[in-house]
């Protein structure tokens, strides 16, 4: 039952790399926060700073209002689940889970009871006497979770815990993590580069890019109202369609096509028009024309990919459309499309700022 406050957190390495740049964040009790971003964006570094595995160059970190910058990792009362599980290979599952407890001076009988209870919750009760090498990937993952849970820490930290599992297990474990976190109500931070994982798990999402938090909010907020070009392009699957544009004579010029419905945009600045695939529909008088390259039938809907007319054929701009029902289109066919102007977004290309 804890809150975590980060204020002005910076991380500079000795070689001059500036991994985390001025992060401010308030995480409330019982929340599941996901740090998401491309690899090398500093999300893991930030998490490891919370754990105490990296020191803090600048800024202040507080758990329940108490400064923890100088507190040793073991005294911060946080538990971490590592990407490669990081189980102690020479200890049995039981000893793996008991290790942190016995080091905190808990009585043996109490340890026994806690470990058995946690193991039962994670359905690893039958494996307590095995060594990690004798377990499957999914079981090891559960043991790693169990080792964190059994300590009843103030904070759970997850560092890409599912990336070593196969796709099916990943979905299962994702649901399980969410369920456990709800049940236990422990404040958690989860780091991932997988935006689907991020969207499905998070209470709130922090999109991190080049060491900065680009935007923080609920998954749906970030999806429908991204503040920057980066957030718009990172969140959503399939990706948002981005078309280079410019604003001339009161109209948005996309390739050779002029699109009405936009006002007050700066001229002579490179812009980017962003439209989600589901906000585009076929329309006989649509302003955008594409020639179909590929249709992906997903069952409930289908994704139509095509090159937008009016762009140089040497650098074609691809557009993806989510069509509600299976359209029978042949490659090379030309269709006209319309999009919902009020849900379209316009960004400045140079600094990524959103204008509309």
Partner 1 sequence: MKRVQFERSTVPYFFVAPQIAIIAVFFLWPAGQAIYQSFLLEDAFGISSQFVWFRNYEDTILNYAWLQSAGFTVVFSSLVTFFSLAIALLLAVKANEVLHGSSSYKTMLMWAYAVAPPVAGLMGNLMFNPFIGDLYAAMNAMGWDFNQKLDAFDAGFVVILISVWKQVSVNFIFFLSGLQGIPKGVMEAATLDCRSPTKRFWTITFPLLAPTTFFLMVINITYAFFETFGIIDTTTRGAPGGATNTLVYKVYTDGFLGADLGGSSAQSVILMLMVLALTVFQFRFIERKVHY
Q: What is the contact surface with partner 1 in residues (CB under 8 A)?
A: 51-53, 72-75, 78-80, 82-90, 99-100, 103, 131, 147
Cβ–Cβ under 8 Å, residues 290 and 303: no
Instruction: Give the separation between CA 313 and CA 205, rounded to whole angstroms.
Output: 38
| DSSP structural state of residue 304 | E
Percentage helix, strand, coil for the chain under 3-state DSSP, each rounded to 5: 30, 35, 40
Instruction: Give the separation between CA 247 and CA 264, rounded to whole angstroms.
Output: 9
By beta-carbon proximity to partner 1, the closer residue of 27 and 150 is 150
By beta-carbon proximity to partner 1, the closer residue of 28 and 84 is 84
SS3 assignment, position 130: coil
CB of 211 to partner 1, least distance (A): 21
CB of 89 to partner 1, least distance (A): 7
Q: 21-59 b/e with 16+ CB inside 10 Å = b?
A: bebebebeebbbbbbbbeeebbbbbbbbbbbbebebeeb
By beta-carbon proximity to partner 1, the closer residue of 124 and 295 is 124
CB of 177 to partner 1, least distance (A): 18
Instruction: Give the separation between CA 82 and CA 94, rounded to whole angstroms.
Output: 18
CB of 280 to partner 1, least distance (A): 45
CB of 33 to partner 1, least distance (A): 19
CB of 151 to partner 1, least distance (A): 8
CB of 189 to partner 1, least distance (A): 14
By beta-carbon proximity to partner 1, the closer residue of 99 and 305 is 99
By beta-carbon proximity to partner 1, the closer residue of 96 and 215 is 96
Cβ–Cβ under 8 Å, residues 37 and 193: yes
Q: Quick one: tokens of 126? A: 């039958």
By beta-carbon proximity to partner 1, the closer residue of 53 and 307 is 53
Instruction: Give the separation between CA 277 and CA 205, rounded to whole angstroms.
Output: 22
By beta-carbon proximity to partner 1, the closer residue of 72 and 351 is 72
The DSSP element (H or E) to which 245 belongs, if any, is strand 241-248
CB of 103 to partner 1, least distance (A): 4
Q: Quick one: tokens of 281? A: 């529909």
Q: 126-162 b/e with 16+ CB inside 10 Å = b?
A: ebbeebbeebeebbbbbbbbbbbbbbebbbbbbbbbb
By beta-carbon proximity to partner 1, the closer residue of 3 and 83 is 83
- What are the distances in angstroms from CA 233 to CA 228, 259, 281, 320? 9, 22, 20, 13
Residue 248 pairs in a beta bridge with 251
By beta-carbon proximity to partner 1, the closer residue of 72 and 109 is 72
CB of 145 to partner 1, least distance (A): 13
Helices (H), the chain: 43-51, 93-103, 108-121, 137-149, 167-184, 195-201, 219-224, 229-234
Strand-strand pairing, 58-63 and 4-12 = antiparallel
């Amino acid at each position: 039952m804890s809150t975590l406050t980060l204020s002005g957190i910076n991380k500079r390495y000795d070689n001059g790399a500036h991994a985390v740049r001025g992060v401010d964040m308030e995480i409330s009790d019982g929340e599941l926060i996901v740090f998401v971003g491309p690899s090398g964006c500093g999300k893991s570094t930030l998490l490891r700073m919370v754990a105490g595995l990296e020191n803090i160059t600048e800024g202040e970190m507080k758990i329940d209002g108490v400064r923890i910058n100088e507190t040793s990792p073991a005294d911060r009362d946080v538990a971490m689940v590592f990407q490669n599980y990081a189980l102690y290979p020479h200890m049995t599952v039981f000893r793996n889970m008991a290790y942190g407890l016995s080091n905190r001076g808990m009585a043996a009988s109490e340890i026994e009871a806690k470990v058995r209870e946690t193991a039962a919750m994670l359905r690893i009760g039958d494996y307590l006497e095995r060594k990690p090498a004798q377990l499957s990937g999914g079981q090891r993952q559960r043991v790693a979770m169990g080792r964190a849970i059994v300590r009843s820490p103030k904070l759970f930290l997850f560092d890409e815990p599912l990336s070593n599992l196969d796709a099916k297990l990943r979905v299962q474990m994702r649901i399980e993590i969410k369920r456990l976190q709800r049940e236990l109500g422990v404040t958690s931070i989860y780091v991932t580069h997988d935006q689907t994982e991020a969207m499905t798990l998070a209470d709130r999402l922090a999109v991190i890019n080049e060491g900065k938090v680009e935007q923080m909010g609920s998954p749906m907020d970030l999806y429908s109202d991204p503040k920057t070009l980066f957030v718009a392009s990172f969140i959503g699957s399939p990706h948002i369609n981005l078309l280079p544009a410019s604003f001339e004579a009161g109209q948005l010029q996309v390739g050779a096509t002029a699109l009405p419905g936009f006002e007050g945009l700066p001229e002579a600045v490179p812009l980017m028009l962003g439209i989600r695939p589901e906000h585009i529909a076929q329309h006989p008088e649509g302003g955008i024309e594409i020639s179909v390259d590929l249709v992906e039938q997903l069952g409930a809907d289908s994704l139509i990919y095509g090159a937008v007319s009016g762009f140089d054929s040497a650098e074609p701009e691809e557009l993806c459309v989510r069509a509600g029902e299976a359209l029978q289109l042949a490659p090379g066919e030309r269709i006209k499309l319309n999009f919902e102007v009020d849900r379209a977004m316009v960004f400045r290309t140079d600094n990524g700022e959103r204008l509309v």
